[in-house]
Amino acid sequence: MKPLLTLVFLMVVPCLVWSQQELIDSYRQELKKEKIDTSRIHIIGDLSRMLIMDSDTAEALALLKEGLALCKKHNYEYGYGLLYNSYGVYYLETSRYDEAEAYFQKSCEHYQRSKKDTAPLGVATALGNLSLIAETKRDIEKAVLLQLQALDVWQASAFPERFVAVGNMYLNISNLYTKVGQHDKAIIYTKKAVKTRLNADLKDADLATSYIYLLNSFIKNNQLDSAQKYLLTTQTLVNDLKNPVVYMRYYAVLGEIGMAEKNYENALGQYQLALQYAQQTQKMTFQISSSMGIARCYQELKRPAEAIPFLTQALQLAEKGNRLEAKTRALKGLAEAYHQLNNDQQAFAYFTQYNALKDSIQAEETKLKLNEIDTKYQTVQKENQILQLEKDKSRQNTLIYGLVVGLILIASIGILMYRNAANQRKIAQQQTLLKEKEIQQLQQERQLVATNSILKGQEEERTRVARDLHDGLGGILTSVKLTLGKVRGNFILPEASTVVFARALEQLDLAINEMRRVAHSMMPEALVRYGLPDSLKDFCEDLNETGQIKIHLQVLGMENRLDSSVEVVLYRIVQELLNNILKHAQATDAYVQLVRREEIIHLTVEDNGKGFDVKQAENQKGAGMRNIENRVAYLGGTLDIQSTVGEGTSVEIEIKL
């Protein structure tokens, strides 16, 4: 099955000036002139990739073979990365995803070993393509993590293209969350894409596309009011650009708005415009989706006969492009349309095709999963074989190294004796510097121990007070409640006293519940028993039940528990940040994201509240913010606060374990 995929190659190609064929011809001419050196490898890499996209695979594979021979001759790591990327594209285009994944992984490794200044761009490209493979295999969590790694590479670079690339990464992550129905997270990353491009003053087709994606995310999340707020800005930008591809996307999303508002006549007109631009730009995906949108409108308007030609057109395009998921939707739509026309024979025929294709797709997905399991098993077997070979080789090398080291030591002793006098002076100077550094280190360690003692003391006191409240005061209050209950059963009170007595029991219940809430807040049971993710989930659910705010929590890569002291500190940080949002931000939504990638913890807390001036707040820090800074410093992490008045606040924390 060949999926609908879009590769982002991180290179500047003058595609607006030359056609694809003109570019291919130009590269062929350059190849005839170029000498047999590394610059020839670059031309082969670019030309082979364009030939693959143009379905001329025979010439592309021949060029790649020549390029690999040149890389071997020059020991050119960057060239290997470039050519293996083209091989990955070839296997991706032919739907051989395991081979594509292997070559993209090789490409990434060679780029990482390269010293060329543009090698990080190659690493980001390979990570993006690996994310694409993971998405194809329905492993969305892995796809998101790979996109985040590619994002880190771009953000750490100083290339002018980084703003465009970072915006694209955010949109890619947004699309991944959209595919699994997590539209809240899709909105977060689409907003980041818009903000990145606005900060870079990039008012181009990419910015318009980002706004269109944001509108689409709001629609899918049933936030039509939010979509309307961005509609005028999007419309102005689209009209200024006069770009047919942007018009196509814009009218398509207007059609979705019309459908969401049940204004089917308006939606029909928008989809028809989207189809015109899709046909003009030869974008098959939008030709299919726009045709399906028109058909849906006709069906909602009880005009199924007019829907059938567009469903048929969508079906033909899906078959031509081998778009199986689109084909299933078209077959189902035709079955429903003929059923509306009471033509049950045709409806049954299309419905039968729909069921057969759906079963085939499910079987293919099952096959992919089984292949992935088998690949993992084979990989483990090969790794074990390699490990054994390396052990054997290591034993042989040890003997050789021992002899070599012995000879080197004999020669070194003579040299060291000659240089000993000069080194004595250097050693004295180094010892002086070392003592100064040791003093500084001891001061830092003392400060860290003091902070550690304070935090540990706070947590121990919280635990003790929570236990005393629950076991001591809680037991007393419960005993009082039981005693008063017995008193009410043994005595007949006047009616007025009965009301007062009942009110006293109610107030006693409130006191017991409040005492338990305070004890739980001071040391949540879930944190001790089940770990940080469950305790954060409980805390966020408790805040959501208040109705004051909606907390959105996402936890990734936290399958293994952290050290208990680290979990407690991270929990207190989140607790303090969310309490600050409740007290000061006047927010309706807050987002908490906790991600662990190997030995690094990323914590992000954002809100859509009123925001504040960060520079002004530096001089007016409250106890809560100082506590957060101390806890982050205790974990050896970094803290970054971004806030704009009227737009909300974002706090990002990174901790190396």
- pLDDT greater at residue 294 or residue 542: 294
Q: What is the number of H-type helices and E-type strands within the chain? A: 24, 5
- The mean pLDDT value for 95-101 works out to 89
Euclidean distance between CA atoms 39 and 57, whole angstroms = 22
Give the pLDDT mean for 292-306.
93
Band the pLDDT of 492: cuts 50, 70, 90. Answer: low
Residues 380 and 512 in one domain: yes
Residue 291 has pLDDT above 80, yes or no: yes
The reply to whether 195 falls in a domain is no
| Residue 17 and residue 123 in one domain | yes
CA distance 501 to 539: 35
Residue of 272 and 624 predicted with greater confidence: 272
- Same-domain pairing of 563 and 601: yes
Residue type, 635: L
Concatenating the DSSP letter of every residue in 140-183 gives HHHHHHHHHHHHHHHHT---TTHHHHHHHHHHHHHHHHHHTT-H
In this structure, the answer to whether residues 17 and 54 fall within a common structural domain is: yes
pLDDT band at 299 (very low <50, low <70, confident <90, very high): very high
Both 21 and 155 in one domain: the answer is yes
> Is residue 250 one of the residues assigned to a domain?
no
Residues ≥6 apart with Cβ < 8 Å to 79: 38, 41, 42, 45, 67, 70, 71
Q: Which residue has the higher pLDDT, 505 or 329?
A: 329
Task: Name the one residue in this structure whose structure tokens are 């040149």.
Answer: 70
Q: Are residues 47 and 73 in the same domain?
A: yes
How much is the average pLDDT of 261-280?
A: 92
The pLDDT, as a whole number, for residue 437 is 77
Name the more confident of 569 and 618: 569
pTM: 0.49
Report the mean per-residue pLDDT for the chain: 81
pLDDT of residue 562 exceeding 90, the answer is no
Contacts with 159 (C-beta within 8 Å, 6 or more apart), sequence order: 118, 121, 165
Give the CA count within 13 Å in the CB-facing half-sphere of 591.
19
The per-residue pLDDT for 555 is: 93
- Helices 244-260 and 264-281 sit at what angle, rounded to 10 degrees? 160
510/568 same-domain check: no
CATH number of the CATH domain containing 619: 3.30.565.10
What band does 7 get if pLDDT is binned at 50, 70 and 90? very low
Residue type at position 293 = G
pLDDT, residue 363, reads 65
d(CA 458, CA 240): 59
**Residue 14 burial by Cβ neighbours in a 10 Å radius (0-12, 13-18, 19+):** exposed
User: Of 109, 127, 159, which residue constitutes the final position of a domain?
Assistant: 159
pLDDT score at 614: 84
In a domain, 314, yes or no: no
pLDDT recorded at residue 262: 92
Res 622: pLDDT = 74
Taken in order 181, 185, 189, 190, the sign of the CA dihedral is positive
Instruction: Check residue 84 and give its pLDDT.
Output: 93
Taking CA atoms, 21 is separated from 57, 171, 195, 375, in Å, by: 15, 29, 36, 38
* Residue 120 resides in a domain: yes
Structure confidence at residue 376 as a pLDDT band (50, 70, 90): low
**pLDDT value of position 263:** 93
Taking alpha carbons only, the member of 361, 314, 307 closest to residue 336 is 307
86 plus 14 within the same structural domain: yes
Domain that holds residue 396: 367-520
**Side by side, which strands form the sheet with 550-556?**
550-556, 589-597, 600-607, 648-656, 638-644
Clarify whether residues 130 and 22 are in a common domain: yes
The whole-number pLDDT of residue 331 equals 92
**Mean pLDDT (whole number) for 321-341:** 89
Q: Is residue 652 assigned to a domain?
A: yes
Same domain, 410 and 470: yes
User: Does one domain contain both 556 and 474?
Assistant: no
Q: What was the pLDDT predicted at 5?
A: 30
Instruction: Name which of 246, 260, 245 is nearest 211 in CA terms.
Output: 246
Out of 520, 550, 580, a domain closes at 520
Q: What is the CATH number of the domain that holds 53?
A: 1.25.40.10
Point out the least confidently predicted range of 197-206, 354-363, 468-477, 612-621. Answer: 468-477
Domain final residue, candidates 462, 488, 520: 520
Give residue for tokens 């290997």.
80
Question: Does the residue 298 lie in any domain?
Answer: no
pLDDT for 517: 58
Comparing 122-126, 333-337, 390-394, the range with the smallest average pLDDT is 390-394
Number of domains in the chain: 3
Residue 381 lies in a domain: yes
Say if residue 378 is in the same domain as residue 480.
yes
Average pLDDT of the segment spanning 126-143: 89
Q: Is residue 577 part of a domain?
A: yes
Q: Which residue has the higher pLDDT, 98 or 380?
A: 98
pLDDT at res. 4: 30
